A and B are shown apart, each in its own frame.
Chain A
Amino acid sequence: MAYVVPRPNLTWKEKIYLPSIVAGMAITFKHLKRMIKGETHVVMQYPEEKWDKSMPDHYRGAPTLVTDEHGRERCVACQLCEFICPPRAITIKPEEIPADNKFAKVEKRPKEFEIDMIRCIYCGLCEEVCPEQAIFLRKDYAITGITRAEMVHDKAKLYELGGVFTGLVNKWNPKK
């Protein structure tokens, strides 16, 4: 349907543009002055210089899997992250935990857990949807590789990146 965009009614000040040009130039000269005085860093010499230390807590890097302080893999292969993942980067194959395993009570774990980092868009929905606090976006951002296969993070790689996460809710621990 056709829709007419109403034109804004400009005042005479706005019509002659000059005040805006002056204001813009003032900002430009302010920055020029700061540059000359050495107050502004424009370029960071990556990779010699990195901003890892000043990265905010909420930074969303590569998704990883974590284990807890009991050494249990948190993931129970519920496949909610696979379901929510917008670019379908996650592929999970579940399996039953064998009865002789220390964590047999949990019953289910991923047999294979793959995240295709070429597809991943770092949106963090997997972390948000996880009911088990098992997947976290950590601060790794330089995910590179020279083959497509190398860019698929398998279960071992994901646990290696994720490491141990303490202080999580332990709902599966045996109660008295």
Chain B
Amino acid sequence: MSTETAAPAVPMVNVQIDGVWLQFPKGTRVIEACGQAQKFIPRYCYHPKLSSPGNCRMCMVEMGMPKMTPDRKPVLGADGKPEIAWIPRPQISCAQDVAEGMGIRTGSPMVEEARKGVLEFLLINHPLDCPICDQAGECRLQEFSVEFGQGESRFLDEKVKKPKNVELGPRITLDAERCILCTRCIRFMKEVANDDVLGIVERGSFNSIACHPDRILDNNYSLNTVDICPVGALTSNDFRFKMRVWFLKETKTIDVNCGTGANIIIGSRENTIYRITPRENNDVNGVWLPDSHRLNFKYVADERRLTKPTVKGQPVDWRTATAIAAEILKAHTAEQLWLVASGRQTNEELFLTSRLIDALEIEKQHDILPRTGEADGLLIAADRNPNTTGAKLIGLCTSKPGSRLKKLVEGVRSGAIKTVITLGEDLTKCGLTADDLKKLDAIIALDILPNQTTPHATVLLPASAWVEKRGSMINVKGRLQRLNRAVAAPGEAHDDWEILRDLIAAVSGSNGLAVIEDVFKAMAADHSEFAGLSLSKIGDLGLPVVTEKTPEPEPAAAN
């Protein structure tokens, strides 16, 4: 929180919650005020990022306003506080702002009775198929039934049958019987995704969520409806029946599919990633995540992953591979070398890359490969490299990433450049052809998967994917955020920063870097933006480090 800008003066109001008088800023929802007072109110339809329709009736509390004398003065009790006239029926707390002198009871017999009643009605037509339901374990209906429900049903009639296993869209399946009609998904699509395709059809107990008959739910943000669905009505086709949620280890990290750097949670079990869900960070992505980013993790477990260092296609051990790479580099003059770094590298890796450039005395013969796409105006940035800002800051590229790649192509074609180092980028995407690559003396490539360049690589070093390493990145808005390791790298693949460290050591002698924290410390000494920070000080939500707005990179000139 910045201390320079004074908070706008919001008048505070006095509210009594369960007998204790507290102050809240005017405009606070009653449900939020109770939450801040450590009195959790169960809720289904209420979501802090959406409008409040007040239709689930789960958040009912007992409410009261100060007793007034005939001349509209509050009646004061013995303790000098206003006496409260309690409203004789429960009120919903999600659609009501706090008011001066308001009284709230969150656990009175009337409230408990109301919650029991609401839950009993919600469960009347609920199929209770928890053993096959993907939501089991993170289901609000399960949780609140245990905490606030009454344990058994008095309902004797047949349950209403509704559509099950309905494909709402390519990524979403609906089970209308499980739905409690909270309308969160409808409001999300209307208010956040601006794609109003969902609605409620039929009448009474046959009420059911449905998609517009001429449309399907194929918006790129559709999977967020699965996240906010409090029950198992909406399930993700990708995660459906794959793994029970209580087995998943949750790793807090960031998304690397674009410059936004959305905060995410990776759910993995025994080295396999099963799903990615958004993590709340109101400075970056709120609580949402685009489907295209969330589902783009399968390649990490690809069986073609590089697992062993190779020299000219022959598997060797790491020591040999590093030594041969260093020999190649030392056999060339700095003018004959070119280094292609990547906007997908972490700051630590970029910093070590800059050290390697210094050790090899390369000047201006390095750049990153820019990746651009169309910004969608919500969470997807035009810059599809997650760490362009970091690359600029550490000096791996100019303010126009990719502007030097032309010179690489010219140099290779004229024969001036003999050896190219590529750190996770496909050189054929930098404008070079396969014939150009054959002309080179040597290519030293570091990558996770085979691509057009790897068959030509003299020394090929298997690296770690973004879910397998720690490090930091700076998003397009200049926010420094942290990556965490969810799964282990396959085979003999190493962390990128370790590979770079060993390469630098082989070229110019040891540098005393033992753990990634040392790298961050060395980086903080060289770049003032990181001064006083460490990987642990960045925290889960990140910190703004670059304040001036970085212009969006221009579309790549070289294919």
Alpha-carbon distance between A107 and B240 when the two chains are bound, in angstroms: 11
- Residue numbers in B under 8 Å from A176 (CB-CB): 158
- Residue numbers in B under 8 Å from A82 (CB-CB): 247
**B244: which of A83, A95, A96, A107 is its contact (CB, 8 Å)?**
A83
A94-B241, A175-B158 known; A107+B131 contact, CB < 8 A: no
Of the 9-residue stretches A41-49, A57-65, A73-81, A139-147, which lies at the interface with chain B? A73-81
Nearest to A92 among chain B residues (CB) is B244
**B131: which of A80, A95, A96, A175 is its contact (CB, 8 Å)?**
A80
**Residue pair B132, A79 in contact (C-beta under 8 Å):** no
0/1 per residue, B407-436, Cβ < 8 Å to A? 000000000000000000000000000000
**A78: which of B158, B164, B240, B244 is its contact (CB, 8 Å)?**
B244
- Residue numbers in A under 8 Å from B244 (CB-CB): 78-79, 83
**Could you tell me the distance in whole angstroms from the C-beta of A116 to the nearest C-beta in chain B?**
15
Nearest to A105 among chain B residues (CB) is B164
**Could you tell me the distance in whole angstroms from the C-beta of A111 to the nearest C-beta in chain B?**
9
- Residue numbers in B under 8 Å from A155 (CB-CB): none
Alpha-carbon distance between A131 and B244 when the two chains are bound, in angstroms: 15
A132 within 8 A of B: yes
Alpha-carbon distance between A77 and B243 when the two chains are bound, in angstroms: 10
Nearest to A80 among chain B residues (CB) is B131
**B246: which of A83, A108, A131 is its contact (CB, 8 Å)?**
A83
- Total residue contacts A-B, CB cutoff 8 A: 37
B165 within 8 A of A: yes
0/1 per residue, A88-130, Cβ < 8 Å to B? 0000001110010000011110000000000000000000000
Of B241, B242, B244, B246, which is in contact with the most chain A CB atoms at under 10 Å from its CB? B241
Nearest to B244 among chain A residues (CB) is A79
- Residue numbers in B under 8 Å from A95 (CB-CB): 241
* Chain B residue total in the interface (Cβ 8 A): 14
Nearest to A132 among chain B residues (CB) is B131
**Could you tell me the distance in whole angstroms from the C-beta of A152 to the nearest C-beta in chain B?**
17
0/1 per residue, B242-274, Cβ < 8 Å to A? 111011000000000000000000000000000
**Residue pair B132, A78 in contact (C-beta under 8 Å):** yes
**Could you tell me the distance in whole angstroms from the C-beta of A75 to the nearest C-beta in chain B?**
9
- Residue numbers in B under 8 Å from A106 (CB-CB): 132
**Could you tell me the distance in whole angstroms from the C-beta of A175 to the nearest C-beta in chain B?**
6
0/1 per residue, B473-511, Cβ < 8 Å to A? 000000000000000000000000000000000000000
**Could you tell me the distance in whole angstroms from the C-beta of A174 to the nearest C-beta in chain B?**
10
**Residue pair B242, A94 in contact (C-beta under 8 Å):** yes
B200 within 8 A of A: no
**Could you tell me the distance in whole angstroms from the C-beta of A109 to the nearest C-beta in chain B?**
9
Nearest to B127 among chain A residues (CB) is A171
**Could you tell me the distance in whole angstroms from the C-beta of B55 to the nearest C-beta in chain A?**
28
**Residue pair B241, A131 in contact (C-beta under 8 Å):** no
Nearest to B270 among chain A residues (CB) is A91
Alpha-carbon distance between A132 and B129 when the two chains are bound, in angstroms: 10
- Residue numbers in A under 8 Å from B136 (CB-CB): 78
**Residue pair B132, A107 in contact (C-beta under 8 Å):** yes
A94-B241, A96-B241 known; A108+B247 contact, CB < 8 A: no
**Residue pair A77, B130 in contact (C-beta under 8 Å):** no
Nearest to B158 among chain A residues (CB) is A175
- Residue numbers in A under 8 Å from B242 (CB-CB): 94
A79-B244, A96-B241, A107-B165 known; A131+B158 contact, CB < 8 A: no
A79-B244, A79-B247, A83-B247 known; A108+B132 contact, CB < 8 A: yes
Nearest to A91 among chain B residues (CB) is B270
Alpha-carbon distance between A82 and B244 when the two chains are bound, in angstroms: 10
> For window 212-262 of chain B, which residues contact chain A by CB distance below 8 Å?
240-244, 246-247
Of B158, B164, B165, which is in contact with the most chain A CB atoms at under 10 Å from its CB? B165
**Residue pair B132, A76 in contact (C-beta under 8 Å):** yes
**Residue pair B130, A96 in contact (C-beta under 8 Å):** no
Of A95, A99, A131, A176, which is in contact with the most chain B CB atoms at under 10 Å from its CB? A131
Alpha-carbon distance between A83 and B137 when the two chains are bound, in angstroms: 12
0/1 per residue, B127-169, Cβ < 8 Å to A? 0001110001000000000000000000000100000110000
Alpha-carbon distance between A76 and B132 when the two chains are bound, in angstroms: 6
Nearest to A75 among chain B residues (CB) is B131
Alpha-carbon distance between A105 and B129 when the two chains are bound, in angstroms: 11
Of A76, A83, A106, A107, which is in contact with the most chain B CB atoms at under 10 Å from its CB? A107
- Residue numbers in A under 8 Å from B246 (CB-CB): 83
- Residue numbers in A under 8 Å from B241 (CB-CB): 77, 94-96, 107-108
- Residue numbers in A under 8 Å from B243 (CB-CB): 79, 94
Alpha-carbon distance between A105 and B132 when the two chains are bound, in angstroms: 11
Alpha-carbon distance between A22 and B156 when the two chains are bound, in angstroms: 68
**Residue pair B131, A131 in contact (C-beta under 8 Å):** yes
Nearest to A78 among chain B residues (CB) is B131
**Could you tell me the distance in whole angstroms from the C-beta of A89 to the nearest C-beta in chain B?**
15
Could you name 16 residue pairs across A and B whose Cβ atoms are closer than 8 Å?
Answer: A76-B131, A78-B131, A78-B136, A78-B244, A83-B246, A83-B247, A94-B242, A95-B241, A96-B241, A99-B165, A107-B132, A107-B164, A107-B165, A108-B132, A131-B130, A132-B131
Residues of B within 8 A of A (CB): 130-132, 136, 158, 164-165, 240-244, 246-247
The 7 closest A-B pairs by CB, nearest first: A78-B131, A108-B132, A79-B244, A94-B241, A131-B131, A76-B132, A76-B131
* 11 extra interface residue pairs, beta carbon distance < 8 Å, beyond A78-B130, A78-B136, A80-B131: A76-B132, A78-B131, A78-B132, A79-B244, A94-B243, A99-B165, A105-B164, A107-B241, A108-B132, A131-B131, A175-B158
